[in-house]
Amino acid sequence: DIQLTQSPSSVSASVGDRVTITCRTSQDISSWLAWYQHKPGKAPKLLIYRASSLQTGVPSRFSGSGSGTVFTLTIDTLQPEDFAIYYCQQPNSFPLAFGGGTRVDIK
């Protein structure tokens, strides 16, 4: 099974900051990685698929990069609505797996 490790587990940031979240996988998954945003009581939202492709309707301040075993999600110019928990996921090999999540909260 593929394991995903996210870092940091939480980050405090201010509106306008740049935030970078890292996801490391236990084996090479090429570019088969997705990123999600999850707010309490809401449905998770797909942000990025195939490591760097922006899902339709997602603001361009979100970007993803990486391949193999190391991936990053970057949020440029953090907005108030971006405070949430972010998860990476390897979606293409069973069992599907998520990282442990990164909480982005207000400094």
Partner 1 sequence: EVQLVESGGALVKTGRSLRLSCTASGFTFRDYDLTWFRQAPGKGLEWVGFIRGIPYGVTTEYAASVKGRFTVSRDDSKSIAYLQMNSLKTEDTGVYYCARVLSVLDYIYGMDFWGQGTTVTVSS
Q: Using CB under 8 A as the criterion, which residues of the chain lie in contact with partner 1 when the complex forms?
A: 32, 34, 36, 38, 41-46, 49-50, 53, 55, 85, 87, 89, 91-92, 94-101
CA atoms within 13 A of residue 107's CA, in its CB half-sphere: 11
Compute the least distance from the CB of residue 38 to partner 1, in Å: 7
Compute the least distance from the CB of residue 86 to partner 1, in Å: 11
Pick 13 or 97: Cβ nearer partner 1: 97
Pick 29 or 75: Cβ nearer partner 1: 29
Is-contact 74 23, C-beta < 8 A? no
How far is Cα 87 from Cα 53, in angstroms, rounded to an integer? 16
Is-contact 69 25, C-beta < 8 A? yes
